[in-house]
Structure 1
Amino acid sequence: MDDEERSEHYAQPIPVEPSRFAQYRVRESATDIADVALTFMDVSDLNAAPDPVASILADVAAAWRRATTPLAASAAVTVAVRSRSTWGADPGILRAAPRYSPWKKAIVHHTVTTNSYSDAAAQLRSIYYYHSVTRRWGDIGYTYLVDKWGNVWQGRAGGEDSVGAHASGWNTGTMGVSTLGDFSSARPTATMTDSVAKLIAAKLGARRIQPMGADTFTHHEQTRTGAWVPVTSKVPNVLGHRDAVDKVGARGAATACPGTRLYALLETVRRTAQALISGTTWAAAPAVKPVPAAAGEQLGVKWVSDKTPWGLGAVPVTVPLTIKNTGQLPWIQGLVNVAYHWYDDRGKLAVWDGARTPLPADIAPGKEARLEVRVLPPPRTGRFKLVYDLVWEGQWWFSSLDEETLVRRVTRR
């Protein structure tokens, strides 16, 4: 985590066993290092929370209630949020006065801290100190945090529509939802992602914002001179931190957040949140086995042929497309669909969730399918990249499992 304006570089908080001394090493660098500092944060104080044992038991009990309660749809989704006092936020290190701007987007993060915690409140206190004091942000950067048991905690002070410090150039008008842990290679618990979806449904739904949508939004990007300029575009209403571009000409933010494994599940989070708002739930396909954890090794696609036009107007077109199932699992009609993504000529996402085209029938391994794919044009004129993809509804985009996509250059007239 870096602060380029101050030429400062920070490591994430590292949990350690009780110790008396700390040792560090600075490896050879191409630039001069003016100062190195270690910050120690003792978050184990039993008085920091009302009753740490009771708090842990409450975490487990809440997780059990969620696990044993059906995911019911509701026109008005509500979610229980644990207050700052519950996790022991020290008012003495709160230095930032709340600012407000209506939330229009949700940006998903991970804290890049340990996954083996037993006390979520202690983890929050360490992040709070790190953000407020060490990073000098004056408060915790995230609006909300979700632990592995699915508990939702208030992060930044100020409540609804408060402006956080979680995504450079995107803080105004967004809420930052961070998962507690590191999901670069570890998969988040289903309880955690369900709670993230429910939180997003509650907050965006109350503002009549569709989690599956992509509405116009103005953020800011930094030029090479250091100036910040406004950029208005259509971006997903729920996006990962890595999608929040903050440098002019960049293809993405300079981060892998929220981690590869969580990022692959964002589409599921969007759909779950949308289902909660819409008052619908996913209908299970009959006699279909669930996608196994090793789905990436058993799914495969070959894009055989297509007749994508080089230019598009303002009306949808139908594109003949032939694909082949090169994996080990059958593609079930109604569960696997053809879709697409639009990127502009700078590589910025314009439309993520393109229109679905269903399969004509179940497609067995080794078999081909011929489809007429309905493609809606991108939202504005210019040069674009059209990326055809397959989606296993409620589970995976094939591209998230490193499966092949079909890319075509198209000009919108």
Structure 2
Amino acid sequence: MWLRRTALGVMVVPLTLLVFRDAPVRFIASDRTTGKPEAASAAPRPPIVGRGAWHADEKLVKEQATYAGVVKVVFVHHTGHTNGYDCADAPKMLRAMEEQHVRGEGWDDIGYNFVVDRCGTIYEGRAGGVGRTVRGAHATGFNAHSVGIAALGTFGPGVPVPKALIDGIAKVGAWKLRGDIDPRGTVRMVSTNDESLYRRGEEVRLNVVSGHRDTFRTKCPGDALYAQLPAIRKEMARLRTDRT
């Protein structure tokens, strides 16, 4: 979740720009992987809208991507946008978010590895190749060996979480997670930053599918989405079992 808020006009597509249709974006860009991809996953790769398709501004990217080993933890976030958006407007929302992450937060690129909209469409976030373990800027102290998947919206107490969104998060999470790790289990991780909930060098056990709040002082991904983590774990496990 964004660490600092800006004016809603920057964060959210204005209502005057919304159109009255509600369908997921269906274009899919080619994989931007450079170098060798990761080993075969325990789940199939889902359709992913690449950066070229949502017209990411590559001139904003400050540094080349870095890579941080196999994925052991899936961190679930929400982006802080309002929830009534038309899914066809998700690309322009992503472009605004990219600009805010780089120019507002000072990061090299958009922080999340993937973003999923309420229609279940999966978007490539941070550059570097969707088939690689790109180190994100989404979980202070735990960016290595993790993937950050953000739900486009705000999911505080009592907010309905669309099933398509849950399924989209599960699909990309099941694909990215290392094949021998159970999505319903826990894993050993070591904090690399004192600004997390754990001291630098402290060893912790985290749920393989965790919320941002599990390692940082934040309400992200919101109470409603956090309550759906068991459902996401279950669906991830099903996807991987069906593949084997």
Residues 298-339 of structure 1: per-residue CA shift (max 9 Å, x gap)? xxxxxxxxxxxxxxxxxxxxxxxxxxxxxxxxxxxxxxxxxx
Q: 1:178 aligns with which of 150, 159, 163?
A: 150
Q: 2:172 aligns with which of 193, 199, 203?
A: 199
Q: For 1:245-324, what aligned pairs fall within 5 Å after superposition?
A: 253-279=216-242
Question: Quick one: distance in 1 between partners of 2:204 and 2:124?
Answer: 29
Q: Name the counterpart of 1:95.
A: 62
1:122 aligns with 2:99: no
1:59 aligns with 2:24: yes
Q: Name the counterpart of 1:110.
A: 78
Change in Cα spacing, 1:233 to 1:41, as seen in structure 2 (3 Å) is closer
- Give the drift of 1:203: 1.2
Q: Name the counterpart of 1:77.
A: 44
1:189 aligns with 2:162: yes
Query: Which one has a larger percent strand, Structure 1 or Structure 2?
Result: 1
Q: How many residues align?
A: 217
Q: Is the 8 A contact 1:146 1:192 kept in 2?
A: yes
Q: Name the counterpart of 2:105.
A: 135
Q: Name the counterpart of 2:37.
A: none
- Give the drift of 1:12: 4.4
Gap runs ≥5 in structure 1? 3-9, 16-39, 45-52, 63-73, 245-252, 281-413
Q: Is the 8 A contact 1:75 1:279 kept in 2?
A: no
Q: SS of the residue aligned with 2:8?
A: coil
Change in Cα spacing, 1:240 to 1:13, as seen in structure 2 (3 Å) is farther
Q: SS of the residue aligned with 1:81?
A: coil
Instruction: Flag the structure with larger Rg.
Output: 1
Q: SS of the residue aligned with 1:197?
A: helix
Alignment RMSD (CA, Å): 2.8
Gap runs ≥5 in structure 2? 28-40
Residues 62-105 of structure 1: per-residue CA shift (max 9 Å, x gap)? 9xxxxxxxxxxx96422111100111101111113211112211
Q: Name the counterpart of 2:194.
A: 222
- Give the drift of 1:207: 3.4
Change in Cα spacing, 1:171 to 1:12, as seen in structure 2 (3 Å) is farther
Question: Quick one: distance in 2 between partners of 1:41 and 1:257?
Answer: 16
Q: Name the counterpart of 2:203.
A: 232
Question: Quick one: distance in 2 between partners of 1:148 and 1:221?
Answer: 32
Change in Cα spacing, 1:275 to 1:12, as seen in structure 2 (3 Å) is farther
- Give the drift of 1:198: 1.3
4+ runs of 1 displaced by more than 3 Å?
40-44
Change in Cα spacing, 1:43 to 1:132, as seen in structure 2 (3 Å) is farther
Change in Cα spacing, 1:43 to 1:133, as seen in structure 2 (3 Å) is farther
Question: Quick one: distance in 1 between partners of 2:23 and 2:223?
Answer: 30
Question: Quick one: distance in 2 between partners of 1:187 and 1:269?
Answer: 15
Q: 2:8 aligns with which of 14, 25, 32?
A: 14
Q: SS of the residue aligned with 1:242?
A: helix
Q: Is the 8 A contact 2:12 2:81 kept in 1?
A: no
Q: SS of the residue aligned with 2:237?
A: helix
Percent identity of equivalent pairs: 34
Q: Is the 8 A contact 1:12 1:113 kept in 2?
A: no
Question: Quick one: distance in 2 between partners of 1:266 and 1:191?
Answer: 14
Q: Is the 8 A contact 2:68 2:144 kept in 1?
A: yes
Higher RCO (C-alpha under 8 Å, 6+ residues apart) = 2
- Give the drift of 1:235: 1.4
